[in-house]
Each structure stands twice: as structure tokens, then as C-alpha cells.
Amino acid sequence: MVQRVTALRLSPDGTWLAAAVQSAAGDPASYVTSIWRIDPEPAGRPPVRLTRSAEGEGAPEFLPDGAVLFVS
């Protein structure tokens, strides 16, 4: 599966990253974007996909309290 990161945002407490990841959606010319949680530590947990809609989500941003906002 072809994937590429299109946005990275560091959480306010610095413990994780929110990433917008584009994945090929069957047709080579179309992509779907989802939001993933990434642990920046070298021995951290594997990435976790946070969103799964067919239309996709992108542009993750954090509020000061650590909540994640994104475009859907």
C-alpha cells in the first residue's frame, strides 16, 4: 500500500504526534487521508490509526488541553 504523511503536529505535552497519512484508495490517482497517533520515542508504541471514514480526514490540530481537531 502506498502511503505518505501530509501533516504532523506535536501534542501540547510533547508526548505524541498527530499525523495525516494519505493512502492509495484502489485507483492509483485517488487517495484517502486518515489521522494517526505516533509515539516519537524510538522504542515507542506502533502507530495507531484514529480515524477511518471513507471520505477521509486531514489537517490535525491540537487544542491547548490536548484534544485533537481535524477536517472531515
3-state secondary structure 14-69: CCCEEEEEEEEECEEEEEEEEEEEECCCCCCCCCEECCCCCCCCEEEEECCCCCEE
Which grid coordinates are listed for 5?
504523511
Asked whether 37 and 50 are in contact (CB, 8 A), the reply is: yes
| pLDDT tier for residue 1 given thresholds of 50, 70 and 90 | low
pLDDT tens-digit series, residues 18-64: 999 999 877 778 889 999 999 988 888 899 999 999 889 999 999 99
**What ranges do the domains of the chain cover?**
3-71
Asked whether 18 and 11 are in contact (CB, 8 A), the reply is: yes
